[in-house]
Every structure is written in structure tokens, then in C-alpha cells.
Amino acid sequence: MSAIAWLATLLSLTAAHVRVWTIGYRAHDGVERAAYVELPAWYGPHDHPPIPLVISPHGRGVDARANARIWGDLPAVGRFAVVNPEGQGRRLELYSWGDPGQIDDLARMPRIVEHALPWLRIDRRRIYAVGGSMGGQEVLLLVARHPHLLAGAVSFDAPINLAVRYRDFAGLRFGSRLQALARFEIGGTPSSDPGAYAARSPLDVAGQIADSGVPLQIWWSTRDRVVVDQRDQSGALYRDILALNPDAPVVQVVGEWRHTAEMRWNRRLPAALLRLGLLGHSETPPRAVT
């Protein structure tokens, strides 16, 4: 049975519901931010067994509430928690672009969630990260910098070379505005401050990802018109990881979807979660293209 057919069958047999808890946290720069914690509706102060946690950073210009909607009823079906933090970059919230402080905040999310909801018990052996676009970029940086935190990670349609991404903004709608936001957030252009762009680029930490030991899925599309030339973005990162460590637990899944279209509860997000073991196990995991 395919992952999607399996999920449809399960949803038809259960009245799965999710409750969202809003919590606050102080970001790395002292700014107060919110995070939205999705839990099965039955889970609460009086019924709280240990539960896996998924950290899910949002994409560029997409707020945390919208990111939470991506998950649908999956947290109830799989009996896991998802935390969707608002995030905070060096200067901006919705355009953090892998700021090192933001990555450290993501690594603190398990402690932040447990402090805000003291009855919630996270299974520390089962903490994952899943994100798309800029959120996928930040997932990859989290794998590189905090590998011992994670039991698995999934990146959908991520940019992996931020200097190239800055150049490619020129071909997108409102491209000049995006370049201005990038200069404000990062502190300059790729030419004026190449180190700042490298610090936010998963490609520059491919060796750390390769040696992390974290099971990683890299999903990308040949028809992505937002992060263009994904073969030389996510595809390049996959090739570099295997070149650096042929035994790295990484798989790529390549398709023809619109940018991040498959990272939804009713598309192929369940297939990614099946591979992580968050929705049980499937006899037909997503096809890996190598």
C-alpha cells in the first residue's frame, strides 16, 4: 500500500484532531516571539505520555501559523508534537535565512516547549526537523550544527547556496525587494560579505552534514520556479554529502512538483514522515532517485 493510500485509509477510520497551543519564547537577540505547538487533541495535562517532537521552521515570508496548517491532522494520526516557531534572524522575523542565532533557537525548541508546557513529555530519542524552502535550509543547518539533537530530518526544496540565491532573486517577482531584504538581514551582498552568506549556506557545511549521522531526506523538484536550478542546489548538496561520506544516511527524492507543493498533509509529507517512522512503516517508501 502506498503512503498516501495508507494515510487515507487511516484517516477514514479515525476521528483525528489536533489542538494548537500558543507559547512564547525569547529569541537569541531578546525579542519575544511566539511558537505554535500542535498536539493530538487528547494529549494534555492529564494524559501526557512521552511523545516525539518535530521542529518545523517556516519558509521565506510565510508565518508560523501558515506553516502549522501544512500539518493537518498528521500529529494526531502519528501521535507526535510539532512546534512551529515564528523565528528571528539577525534583523528580520519572516526572512531569517539561516541566521546562526535562529539555528540556535531552533535547537532550543525542545527545552522551550517543555518549559512553556511543563506537563508535555518529549521523547528525547525522537526529535526531528522538517521544513520547506527557507525552512528546509534551516533544517539542514540545524543538522550540521546540532547533530546530536536529531533522530532524523527532512528538507523540501531548500536553497543550499545563499550567494547564488541572492543572484537568482533578480529573476523572481519582487526580486529587487528580496535582494534589499537579504542585504538588511545578512549585512551586505555576497561580494561585500561572503563569509556571512557562507555561514548561512548548507553547501558550505556539507562535510558536517555528511558526518552528522542524522538520517536525512532531501526532496527537490526539477520544475521548481522559486528555488531555480534545484539540480545545482539541493541536488548538489546530496552529491557532495555522498562524495564526502558514501555511508552517510541520506536519500534524495526527486519529482516534478511546484515549489514546496508536496510538503503538505494531503500530498507527500506523509511519505516523508513514514520514512522517519512517525506514521508507522510502509511497504513502499518514497522512491529515491540517486
Q: What is the pTM of this model?
A: 0.92
User: Would the pLDDT of 107 be above 50?
Assistant: yes
What value does the mean pLDDT of the chain take? 93
- Cross-strand pairs, 255: 221
Out of 92-101, 232-241, 273-282, which region has the weakest mean confidence (pLDDT)? Answer: 273-282
- Confidence band for 280, pLDDT divided at 50, 70 and 90: confident
For the stretch 154-211, pLDDT in tens is 999 999 999 999 999 999 999 999 999 999 999 999 999 999 999 999 999 999 999 9
Residue 286 confidence class, pLDDT cut points 50, 70, 90: very low
Task: Check whether 6 has a pLDDT greater than 80.
Answer: no
| Mean pLDDT calculated for residue range 15-19 | 79
Residues 39-91: pLDDT tens digits?
999 999 999 999 999 999 999 999 999 999 999 999 999 999 999 999 999 99
Q: How far apart are CA 276 and CA 274, in angstroms?
A: 5
Between CA 235 and CA 22 the distance in angstroms is 36
Residue 209: all three cell numbers together: 552534514
Residue 287 has a pLDDT of: 40
| CATH of the structural domain 3-276, one choice from 3.90.79.10, 2.40.110.10, 3.40.50.10330, 3.40.50.1820 | 3.40.50.1820
H or E element, residue 194 = helix 194-198
